[in-house]
Chains A and B, each alone.
Chain A
Amino acid sequence: GAGVSQSPSNKVTEKGKDVELRCDPISGHTALYWYRQSLGQGLEFLIYFQGNSAPDKSGLPSDRFSAERTGGSVSTLTIQRTQQEDSAVYLCASSLEGATRGHRTDTQYFGPGTRLTVL
């Protein structure tokens, strides 16, 4: 597709349930990022993928959060045993090359986000 797509656009779940959020990056982009934006906050970095590997998971807030990427393309962010504080907009971004040694990182392009509400 032309841009980054995410699904679902909205997700309402009950506390304690697991959720999966999907991201389809721009075709050919090797780097993929997950962020989240809680109410009144800036975008918070969660995880970075280069290809299928995740060299930086430092932003994942707890072990209830995990992410994977397959085929160097689609990524899934999974939140287990959701809590009310997980309610946020989860944004995915992709870039052509990501972090390449000695070079400026390239521009990240964002999807529309998934609004997650945990009741």
Chain B
Amino acid sequence: DQQVKQNSPSLSVQEGRISILNCDYTNSMFDYFLWYKKYPAEGPTFLISISSIKDKNEDGRFTVFLNKSAKHLSLHIVPSQPGDSAVYFCAASSGTYKYIFGTGTRLKVLA
């Protein structure tokens, strides 16, 4: 039973355009959400997070949107750069240390 789902295994975007990565969750008790980025042969790197009391959090080119009623969050990267090519994981927690991760979306930014 996957509580956090990333239904798109891969995404290709042209450099300079917007990348939108999506994540759905089923557990209404989740109240904290994170995005991690992973390059090959490296561990996941924390990117951005959002608490359920907010619906948007922005950090430079990265913005995370949370739609609690739809149990959906998305990560927007604008403008996309070739260095953004990586696997992106969303994760959720219900106020504890235990993160539940999605299966990841591989983003490829084309130069």
Where the two chains meet, the residues of A that have a C-beta atom closer than 8 Å to any C-beta of B are: 4, 6, 9, 31, 33, 35, 40-45, 48, 56, 91, 93, 95, 98-99, 104-105, 107-113
Contact = CB atoms under 8 A, between A and B. Distances in A.
27 contacts: A31-B97, A33-B97, A42-B100, A42-B101, A43-B44, A43-B99, A43-B101, A44-B101, A45-B98, A45-B99, A48-B97, A48-B98, A56-B98, A91-B44, A93-B43, A98-B97, A99-B97, A104-B32, A104-B51, A104-B95, A105-B93, A105-B97, A107-B34, A107-B46, A108-B46, A110-B36, A112-B42
Contacts of A98: 97
A48 B101 CA distance: 15
B89 interface: yes
A105 to B, nearest CB: 5
Given A41-B103, A42-B104, A105-B32, A99 B96 contact: yes
Contacts of A99: 96-97
Contacts of B101: 35, 42-44
Contact of B95 (A40, A44, A105, A112): A105
Nearest to A9: B41
Contact of B43 (A31, A41, A91): A91
Interface string B55-92: 00000000000000000000000000000000001010
User: Nearest 9 A-B pairs (CB), nearest first?
Assistant: A110-B43, A42-B101, A43-B101, A99-B97, A42-B103, A105-B97, A110-B44, A112-B43, A111-B43
Given A108-B99, A110-B44, A112-B43, 12 more contacts: A4-B43, A45-B98, A45-B99, A91-B43, A104-B32, A104-B95, A105-B32, A105-B93, A105-B96, A108-B97, A111-B43, A112-B42
B45 interface: yes
A105 B40 CA distance: 27
Nearest to A108: B99
A112 B38 CA distance: 10
A110 B34 CA distance: 14
Most buried by A among B32, B51, B98: B98
